[in-house]
Amino acid sequence: MTPLPVQVERSTRASRISAVVFGVVLVALATLPFWGGPGDMRLVAEMSYFLALAQLWNLLAGYAGLVSVGQQAFVGLGAYTFFYLTGSWDMHPYWALAIAGPAVALISVPVALVVFRLRGAYFAVGTWVVSEAIMLGVTQVKALGAGSGMSLTPAIVRQIAPDRATREMIIYWITLALVVLVFVGVYALLRSRHGLALTAIRDSEPASASLGVDTFRTKLVTYVVAALFTGFVGAVIFLSKIRLSPEAGFSINDWTVVVIFMVVIGGIGTLEGPIIGMLVYFALRELLYQWGTWYLILLGLVAVIVMLRFQDGIWGGIAKRFDLHLFSVRRHLMR
């Protein structure tokens, strides 16, 4: 049988160019402490961890079809694990950080086994209920500070670095490293066989099941991996905030509503979408925040309109128009 005169390739010219561009941006951001101010670092850190959360939510909802409105549970749990380990167990912050992710991943397994009994929109509300239950549960535990929460003592924080400037730099780099790790991790996952299985499940669960894809395990693995990284992000977020309370740690408005907005506006089901969505959100925030609640109403309105008219989001529209993919997760047939 003569071989086809085509080749299967993973990258396109656009993706190779964008890889270079992103590399340059990354170097610029990594060196930010040396050419920017502390305000800049804080802003980029915030953009980074939101981007991480957005990529993870997109992995769940856009690729695995798991629309979770309860990821804030893992943010809070990651933060609480970190605060508890450093506070009550006197663990070094770096160790506590490293453990936060896996601890949350472990908790996410029984959570998944419960919520996976629900489907579709009911799954979404179910994850929300579980998150509320976890928050209420944490509020009852004295060792976790009950209703008033916990704080990081100066002693704990100084273990990272004795002076504030160095500390801010280190935490900034940790945040940056984390978002790069999340991005690379999600990208690698999607390019793997696991990712192919996910796309198949997203397109048609019964069909992929009939082809031998273990849909339950694939979704479970995706959910746990997302929880793992969300836990890391939660720990890092509150490491820089120093103060943690149940409402803040498990806030659906802070960690889920905004994240969903970013992914939907940017383009769900694409890797580029969350980046665009995050940038749009921060741009809008800079422009409009003095309008208070009107700004939030506008966000809600934009989300509604995008979902009604432009379901693919900003990037989805661009990608379709120009067949442009910066992060290739597909395989292309080239002559």
Partner 1 sequence: MNWPSILVQGTLLGGLYALFAVGLSLSFGIMRLVNIAHGDFIVLSAFAGLVAVNALGMEAITSLVIVVPVMFALGYALQRGVLNFTLGGNLLPPLLVTFGISVIIQNGLLQGFGADIQRLHWDAIETESHTLPGGVTFGVFPLIVFLVAVASIFALQLLFYRTGLGRAFRAASDDPDTAELMGIDKRHLFALAMAIAMVFTALAGILFAIRTTFEPASGPIRLIFAFEAVIIGGLGSLWGTLFGGILLGIAQQFGQALSPTWQILAGHIAFLLVLVLKPSGLFPRQRDE
State how far the Cα of 32 lies from the Cα of 177, in Å rounded to an integer. Answer: 13
**Residue 120 within binding range of partner 1, rule CB under 8 A:** yes
Rule CB under 8 A: choose which of 17, 21, 109, 121 binds partner 1: 121
In this chain, which stretch among 41-49, 233-241, 297-305, 315-323 interacts with partner 1, using CB under 8 A?
297-305
Rule CB under 8 A: choose which of 6, 17, 184, 301 binds partner 1: 301
> Which residues, numbered 158-217, are part of the site for partner 1 (CB under 8 A)?
none
Sign of CA dihedral 17, 172, 82, 260: negative
Please state the separation of Cα 141 from the chain's center in Å: 27
Which of 198, 201, 219, 223 has the alpha carbon at shortest distance from 210?
201
> Which residues, numbered 100-119, are part of the site for partner 1 (CB under 8 A)?
114-115, 117-118
State how far the Cα of 102 lies from the Cα of 48, in Å rounded to an integer. Answer: 21
Give residues with Cβ within 8 angstroms of 59, minimum separation 6: 186, 189, 190, 222, 225, 226
How near is the Cβ of 293 to partner 1 at its closest, in Å? Answer: 4
Binding-site size, partner 1 (CB under 8 A): 42
Please check whether residue 215 is in contact with residue 200, taking contact to mean a CB–CB distance below 8 angstroms.
no
**Residue 281 within binding range of partner 1, rule CB under 8 A:** no
Reduced to 3 states (helix: H, G, I; strand: E, B; else coil), residue 127 is helix
**Residue 308 within binding range of partner 1, rule CB under 8 A:** yes
Token pair 């893992």: residue: 74
**Residue 259 within binding range of partner 1, rule CB under 8 A:** no
Rule CB under 8 A: choose which of 23, 37, 38, 300 binds partner 1: 300
Rule CB under 8 A: choose which of 12, 139, 159, 199 binds partner 1: 139
Which of 238, 219, 64, 6 has the alpha carbon at shortest distance from 144?
238
How near is the Cβ of 64 to partner 1 at its closest, in Å? Answer: 12
**Residue 94 within binding range of partner 1, rule CB under 8 A:** no
Please check whether residue 208 is in contact with residue 201, taking contact to mean a CB–CB distance below 8 angstroms.
yes
| Chain contacts with partner 1 (rule: CB under 8 A) | 61, 65, 67, 69, 114-115, 117-118, 120-122, 124-126, 128-130, 132-133, 136-137, 139-140, 252, 257, 260, 264, 268, 292-294, 296-297, 299-304, 307-308, 311
